[in-house]
């Protein structure tokens, strides 16, 4: 049974929830690496997503086993700019951010997933324009709703994500697995 439809639905709903509109194929090189308590992940080139028209959301997908990280502003009306941001929590301040990290797929469609949300920490955007968004984050993570995780974790990441320009599926022909 393919897990792609369920994950794509989660992705589409997640991005729609935070107001991002993006196409789904990168225009060039880039990188997004992150770790959770020492477990490291690297996005595939076809797993990089930057909603450059809204400049409020970007993601990285490993294109294997559903691992991904998504960074966004707390509102679709707020754009990232260069600078340092604090974790949003429940605020919609213009100097806040949200991070969701998924460390894998649900055992069953609709079941719990190993996922986290940033509850404290910082995000630094060193560059943002129509060609890329770059920077780093260092956060405390807590389990997201319907997560298999417990307690807290330490999350870090660096990114330089290009915009998407073509209309193909995330992760290309391999699909999001």
- Using one digit for the tens of pLDDT, what is the confidence trace for 92-142? 566 778 899 999 887 677 778 899 999 999 999 999 887 888 999 999 999
Contact yes or no for 113/105 (Cβ under 8 A): yes
Closest CA to 154 of 71, 34, 64, 72: 34
Predicted structure pTM score? 0.77
Q: Nearest 5°: phi and psi at 13?
A: -65, -40
Determine the pLDDT at residue 155. Answer: 96
What b/e readout covers 116-137, taking b as 16+ CB neighbours within 10 angstroms? bbbeebebebeebeeebbbbbb
Domain extents for the chain?
A: 4-174
Q: How far apart are CA 139 and CA 176, in angstroms?
A: 26
Confidence band of 164 (pLDDT split at 50, 70, 90):
low
pLDDT at 28 over 70: no
- Tokens describing residue 167: 């209309």
* Residue 5: other Cβ atoms inside 10 A: 12
Q: How far apart are CA 77 and CA 24, in angstroms?
A: 21
């Amino acid at each position: 049974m393919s897990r792609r439809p369920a994950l794509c639905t989660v992705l589409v709903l997640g991005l729609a929830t935070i107001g991002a509109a993006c196409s789904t194929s990168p225009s060039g090189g880039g990188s997004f690496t992150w770790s959770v308590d020492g477990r490291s992940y690297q996005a595939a080139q076809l797993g990089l997503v930057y909603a450059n028209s809204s400049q409020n959301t970007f993601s990285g997908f490993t294109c294997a086993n559903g691992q991904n990280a998504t960074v966004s502003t707390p509102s679709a009306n707020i754009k990232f700019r260069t600078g340092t941001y604090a974790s949003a929590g429940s605020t919609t301040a213009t100097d806040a951010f949200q991070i969701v990290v998924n460390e894998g797929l649900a055992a069953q469609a609709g079941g719990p997933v190993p996922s986290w949300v940033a509850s404290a920490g910082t995000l630094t955007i060193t560059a943002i324009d129509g060609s890329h968004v770059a920077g780093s984050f260092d956060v405390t993570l807590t389990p997201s709703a319907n997560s298999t995780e417990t307690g807290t974790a330490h999350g870090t990441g660096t990114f330089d994500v290009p915009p998407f320009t073509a209309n193909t599926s995330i992760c290309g022909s391999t699909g999001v697995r």
